[in-house]
Amino acid sequence: MPKQTPVRSSAGSRSEQLLAPLERLREEMTSTACLAPLERMPLDPTYRQSAENLLQYLCLRRHEVRDLQAQLAQLGLSSLGRSEAATLAAVTAVIGILRRLEHPDAETPVMPALGLSEGERLLEAHTRALFGQPQSERPVRIMVTLPSEAARDGRLIEALVRQGMDCARINCAHDEPASWRAMIEHVRAAEKRVGRACKVTLDLAGPKLRTGPIATAPGVCKVRPRRDAYGQVASPARVRLAWEAADAEDAGADARLPIAGDEAVKFRPGDTLKFRDARCSKRSMTVVAAEPGGCLVELCKTAYFISGLRLRHLRAGKTLGRLRVGELPPREQHLRLRVGDTLVLTADTRAVEPPSEGEAARIGCTPPQVLAAVAEGDPVWFDDGKIGARVEAASTEALTLRITQVAHASGCARLARDKGINFPDSDLPVRAPTEEDLETLAFAAEHADIVEMSFANRAEDVVVLLDHLANLRADHLGVVLKIETRAGFENLPAMLLAGMRLARFGVMIARGDLAVESGFERLAEVQEEMLCLCEAAHVPVIWATQVLESLAKKGAPSRSEITDAAMGVRAECVMLNKGPYILKALTTLDDVLRRMRGHRSKKRDLLRPLRVAALAGAKT
């Protein structure tokens, strides 16, 4: 009987086709060319394996492997879609299985030391080094941006620590060192009272581009009574008049006005104050209570008060004296812009007046030297992407812009002073850290646990920061790179390797500026790539910008905000911005992250038992 030739299975023939490209890929990942950058990089020992894995992951992602992934999945094998933490190990494991499918007695390739469990352990170790031990069963930390009033209100910080804040962030673009110090003292005191650790992070201001000043207008105070649905006065407006400067608010009145005049004349209930308001409309107010230093009056018709407005004080129809409204705070002005309008962005940073009818609006740019790096046709964005424009003419002194987009239902947007400017296609001559940042580092070295480097754009920026920390002998400080520009995203791999000089190192995905720089439609793709790169580097990530923003500011979240917050479980820390309902936002985020930890770990879905599945089983 003739000897039969064994028939190779379809799986066997397919495995043979898949082996060759994977073998070539593994050879490339272990080559000297791939790993050469390690030889010239000063790495912290805890990041040596991580740096090697990052380079191997980059090697994998230079190739088009989607067809290969689909074929591996059809064989029931790993498709390499979750290989970030241990890339070489994932490729090697698949090669070993394919070899055995082809030849059961084939030699199994030697697995690298960095396996998946070791990669996850390294990420967790680096996270603990930066943020400390997790204080609850929720492994994802929560960072909260402290408001300015936290310098005066230690109870707010204590409440935040009790509710689960793991890291207090102080934005050094606002307030001053005395306020920062007060906030930090409140955090340290809250740690002792609550018995729970909380890291302090100082966010360096960085080279933020902003609009210049706009001239203020004379102060005006509008006061109006409350009316019912029929326009009748339901209750008069209450105004406190005082022989002193006006406060911004007055809890016992609708408005507070400073007055000047003859202080010898005393007020009595029933007295009348008559005047013509800023519109020359006749108005009168009735004194309802005399107070030390002034009086409380009621007003039944809407009135506009300005500095110097004259008041006639009467009692029983007799004039007792004349008063005037004191100096009111000046009004902030803004530029009104519509699609098609012209805006001149100028190097002159003196205060500008809003344009007259038919004139082009003008506003300064700080720092002014960036204008020389912008070319005709480049896009420009203002105020976190609310206003878009394109350069029609460019010089070192001014850019003539055409407004192309406004994010307002009325079709008219308002541009104020000190609003952010983005030039996503321009190579600007600004570098981080700035001189001011370096001065702040000395304060951080003494008081903080972590510093955030704003607008980290290139590896050289990171080296400058780390060298300065070394000179300050501040090796205890953790460093977080805020990625908020297109250049920062494109240079992220090099910056990750540069940052691995430190044992305490992280990355913040600052999605506000990043969305403007990269384009809102591309943000989801960009943040996904950043999560993958940082996982491959075993570098902890902070998920930031507008997380539960409506809840923190208005008291109620949107559906999309809850979904976005749930995505934060893929990071090691989630940041909340300040707002009057920040405690409520913190409680909600803590609950969302606790729930999601049973469903997802990084890119892997976790199959915890589902109650709905148990109920379905009971019914069938």
| 41 and 79 share one domain | yes
Look at residues 311, 308, 306, 364 and name the one whose alpha carbon lies nearest to residue 335: 364
pLDDT at 544: 95
* 87-102 helix and 10-29 helix, angle to the nearest 10 degrees: 150
143 and 59 belong to one structural domain: no
**Is position 613 within any domain?**
no
Asked if residue 212 belongs to a domain, the reply is: no
What pLDDT sits at residue 241? Answer: 94
User: Structural domain tally of the chain?
Assistant: 4
Instruction: Clarify whether residues 347 and 290 are in a common domain.
Output: no
pLDDT score, position 555: 94
Instruction: Give the whole-angstrom CA distance, residue 319 versus residue 472.
Output: 70
* Structure tokens that stand for 314 in this block: 């009467």
**DSSP state for residue 23 in the 8-state scheme:** H
pLDDT, residue 606, reads 65
Give pLDDT, residue 610: 63
Instruction: Map tokens 């499918």 to a residue.
Output: 101
Q: pTM to 2 decimals?
A: 0.84
Give φ, ψ of 14 to 5 degrees. -70, -40
Residue 154 maps to a domain:
yes
Q: Does 456 share its domain with 572?
A: yes
* CA torsion angle 525 530 536 537 (round to 10): 170
Give pLDDT, residue 603. Answer: 74
> The domain that contains 251 carries what CATH number?
2.40.30
76 with 97: CB under 8 angstroms? Answer: no
Question: Looking at the structure, do residues 312 and 376 belong to the same domain, yes or no?
Answer: no
Final residue of a structural domain among 114, 135, 161: 114
Beta bridge partners of 220: 306
Q: Which of 114, 134, 150 is the last residue of a domain?
A: 114
3 within domain boundaries = no
Burial of 416 (0-12, 13-18, 19+ CB in 10 A): middle
167 and 232, same domain (yes or no): no
Question: Looking at the domain assignment, is residue 330 inside a domain?
Answer: no
Is residue 581 included in any domain, yes or no?
A: yes
Residue 213 placed within a domain: no
pLDDT of residue 224: 95
CA–CA dist 351, 348 (Å, integer): 9
In terms of domains, do 468 and 398 share one?
no
Q: Does 586 lie in the same domain as 441? A: yes
Name the residue range of residue 14's domain.
Answer: 10-114
DSSP string, 38-57: GGG----GGGHHHHHHHHHH
Kindly report whether the peptide bond that precedes residue 112 is cis, defined as omega within 30 degrees of 0: no
> How far is the C-alpha of 566 from the C-alpha of 592, rounded, in Å?
6
Whether the CB-CB separation of 200 and 452 falls below 8 Å is answered with no
Among the three residues 402, 422, 442, which one is the final residue of a domain in this structure? Answer: 422
Same domain, 547 and 599: yes
Upper half-sphere CA count for residue 232 (Cβ side, 13 Å): 2
CATH of residue 134's domain is 3.20.20.60
What span, in angstroms and rounded, lies between the C-alpha atoms of 199 and 142?
Answer: 10
List per-block mean pLDDT (blocks of 10 residues) for the chain, which spans 620 residues: 46 77 95 91 95 96 92 90 94 93 84 92 97 88 96 96 97 94 97 96 93 95 94 95 66 88 87 97 96 92 96 94 93 94 95 91 94 95 93 96 89 93 90 92 96 95 96 95 94 96 96 89 93 96 95 94 93 96 96 88 70 66
Whether residue 611 lies inside any domain: the answer is: no
Instruction: Assess whether 273 and 405 both reside in one domain.
Output: no
- Same domain for 258 and 308, yes or no, is yes
For residues 313 and 197, membership in a common domain is answered with no
Cα 599 to Cα 610: distance, rounded to the nearest angstrom: 10
Nearest residue to 453 (alpha-carbon basis) of 502, 390, 515: 502
Smallest Cα–Cα separation from 573: which of 523, 534, 605, 620?
534
The domain that contains 416 carries what CATH number? 2.40.33.10
